[in-house]
Amino acid sequence: MTRHLITSAIPYINGIKHLGNLIGSQLPADLFARYQRARGNEVLFLCATDEHGTPAELAAAKAGKPVDEYCAEMHAVQARIAEGFRLSFDHFGRSSSPQNHALTQHFAGRLQEAGLIKEVSEKQVYSNTDGRFLPDRYIEGTCPNCAYDKARGDQCENCTKQLDPTDLVEPRSAISGSTDLEVRETKHLFLRQSELKDDLNAWIDSKKDWPILTTSIAKKWLHDGDGLRDRGITRDLHWGIPVKNGTKDWPGMEGKVFYVWFDAPIEYIACAGEWAAANGLSDADWESWWRTDKGAHDVQYTQFMGKDNVPFHTLSFPATILGSGEPWKMVDHLKSFNYLNYDGGQFSTSQGRGIFMDQALELLPPDYWRWWLLSHAPESSDSEFTWENFQQSVNKDLADVLGNFVSRVTKFCRSKFDETVPAGGAYGDVENALIADLQKRLGQYQEHMDAIEVRKAAAELRAIWTAGNEYLQTVAPWSTFKEDPEQAAAQIRLALNLVAFYATLSAPFIPDASATLLETMNATDAAWPTDVAASLGQLPVGHAFTVPEVSFAKISDEQREDWQERFAGQRA
């Protein structure tokens, strides 16, 4: 038995995520977690909300709520939606948790002790009206280059010129519109990542099985230009983890907080602490997943994330861990995804373009989205969502190939025999050939799942479903029945067992449908198959079942056109 620690990139607290975000990390992570559990392995699957930073503060202000209250509410919303998609987190934590406060401060203290922190004085724009320092992109003004009047402090969106806030003509706060701004001197902590460049490089080189996408991004950041740059890990904000040196105050850093990119990945670890606390477990229980000196030596740690998150997971977070000098578990396998595009453009949170998780659940059951997204996961390149493709794939795969198989088998049995597994006849060459074929396909399916080749696994699963239809077509029990009812009984007995077999194998992809099928087949205790022949004898003669309702209703052309139109514009 292997112990699998699995984390998904933690979504930002501000608003509801779209389907591109979902397939970029949470959903494939869930697929892997469910699969490993089904194989009998021990799994700790963690995710959380990333709650600190200016965007959260501003969103809270816009909603007219204190930021902690806003985050608590949004966390509940995201948790409910995650449940809607059947994301099987062992714990869905919060980066604002007490555990993460303590751990983030602990890491900062260790890094300081190791001489990896330096203090840097910077000049930043302060808004007197807002009573806060403004990040570059929250300063607006007229572009000195093209005279566009809504240029941001980091870049002009109109002419794409990169800017410094001080370049802007008539700069103003993007938050309040105030022009009462001044440049102030402020002190911040920087993590000397550059000191760890060789360690990081060696560590990345030791990862032979990482995808090209992952290593190429990491290497670029490591070696491009002057190489890995030191990064500020503190901010002048109210909402965040107070800067401390372990449990002690940090002289000169009063009133400042750690920057989100520093505390967010640490939440992966803190989340395990939250999980333990929420389940009445001890520190030793969660540390056995994270400390290689306390039991985590045999843990396989897999991270899932979109490609934009790769640098933080290959460089920043490892730098924090390596720099601490403590025996924390580091990632073994890092699975990154490209982007899912929407109807010829990008999904966009800021522009409200595409389909958002809450909206998707209003339209269709989670299995529909899970199946399409996973079977079209953007693994090797960006991929494309179109309503036509979605409708065709879901109707064909789920309704026609799988759903209809269940339907034809159970209904045939009911009409010719009854609602129990019929007796009589025996398996012959055709059946043995099918079993051999399925045994081989099961092996390939598992190989793809073990390697987290999501699309390939989906394709193999679909081929396994198809094999059932091929079998029925070959032996034609409806014809057999006229000449030899006993033989027809044997054929349908096998087919009924296939339904349970399929439900078990499909569970990681489509958990709800799988559970429903197992219930109707009265086989909720079905185990993951190893020997196909044995597994297909699981439902014995006389075993009662019920004929299920339509497992997957098809998406009609009218529905598709309606949705296509509804989601063509921006989210209200």
Q: How far is the CB of 62 from RNA (least distance, A)?
A: 24
Nearer CB in complex with RNA: 197/414: 414
- Tell me the Cα Rg of the chain: 27
Nearer CB in complex with RNA: 36/338: 338
Nearer CB in complex with RNA: 294/414: 414
Q: How far is the CB of 428 from RNA (least distance, A)?
A: 19
**278: which 2 tokens?**
């929420």
Strands (E), 30-133: 42-49, 91-94, 117-127, 132-133
Nearer CB in complex with RNA: 236/397: 397
Nearer CB in complex with RNA: 364/459: 459
Residue 234's DSSP bridge partners are 258
Q: CB of 16 within 8 A of CB of 357?
A: yes
Residue appearing with tokens 């607290």: 13
Nearer CB in complex with RNA: 75/376: 376
Please enumerate, as own/partner, the contacts of 565-572 that have beta carbons within 8 Å and a separation of 24 or more.
567/354, 567/355, 567/359, 568/343, 570/351, 570/352, 570/353, 571/352, 571/353, 571/356, 571/359, 572/352
Nearest-angstrom CA–CA distance, 375 and 409: 25
Q: How far is the CB of 386 from RNA (least distance, A)?
A: 6
Q: How far is the CB of 342 from RNA (least distance, A)?
A: 11
Phi and psi for 18 in degrees, rounded to 5? -100, 175
Q: How far is the CB of 123 from RNA (least distance, A)?
A: 17
**338: which 2 tokens?**
């490209």
Q: CB of 475 within 8 A of CB of 468?
A: no
Q: How far is the CB of 489 from RNA (least distance, A)?
A: 14
Nearer CB in complex with RNA: 111/340: 340
Angle in degrees, CA 212, 215, 220, rounded to 5: 120
Q: What is the three-class DSSP state of 340?
A: strand
Nearer CB in complex with RNA: 27/276: 27
Q: Which residues are at the interface with RNA (CB under 7 A)?
A: 160, 162, 212-213, 216-217, 220, 224-225, 308, 338-339, 346, 376, 378-384, 386, 388-389, 392-393, 396-401, 403-404, 406-409, 411-412, 415, 455-456, 459, 462, 466, 469-470, 472-474, 476, 478-479, 550-554
Task: From 141, 311, 128, 350, select the one nearest 231 (Cα to Cα).
Answer: 311
Q: How far is the CB of 78 from RNA (least distance, A)?
A: 23
Nearer CB in complex with RNA: 282/386: 386
Q: How far is the CB of 275 from RNA (least distance, A)?
A: 33
Q: What is the three-class DSSP state of 353?
A: strand
Annotate 379-437 with three-state secondary structure.
CCCCEEECHHHHHHHHHHHHHHHHHHHHHHHHHHHHHHCCCECCCCCCCCHHHHHHHHH
Q: How far is the CB of 435 from RNA (least distance, A)?
A: 17
Nearer CB in complex with RNA: 74/498: 498
Q: How far is the CB of 276 from RNA (least distance, A)?
A: 36
Nearer CB in complex with RNA: 288/551: 551
Q: How far is the CB of 277 from RNA (least distance, A)?
A: 36
Q: What is the three-class DSSP state of 266?
A: helix
Residue 153's DSSP bridge partners are none
Q: How far is the CB of 71 from RNA (least distance, A)?
A: 25
Distance of CA 215 to the CA centre of its chain: 20
- The single-letter code of the amino acid at 247 is T
401 burial level (CB within 10 Å; 0-12, 13-18, 19+): middle
**423: which 2 tokens?**
């007796």
Q: CB of 440 within 8 A of CB of 455?
A: no
Residue 346's DSSP bridge partners are 341
Element (H, E) at 151: strand 151-152
Q: How far is the CB of 495 from RNA (least distance, A)?
A: 9
* Helical axes 366-375 vs 454-475, angle rounded to 10°: 110
Nearer CB in complex with RNA: 186/516: 516
Nearest-angstrom CA–CA distance, 305 and 445: 23
Q: How far is the CB of 429 from RNA (least distance, A)?
A: 17
Q: CB of 263 within 8 A of CB of 128?
A: no
Nearest-angstrom CA–CA distance, 32 and 514: 16
Nearer CB in complex with RNA: 90/230: 230
CA distances 408 to 404, 425, 480, 502, Å, are 6, 20, 15, 15
Nearer CB in complex with RNA: 380/530: 380
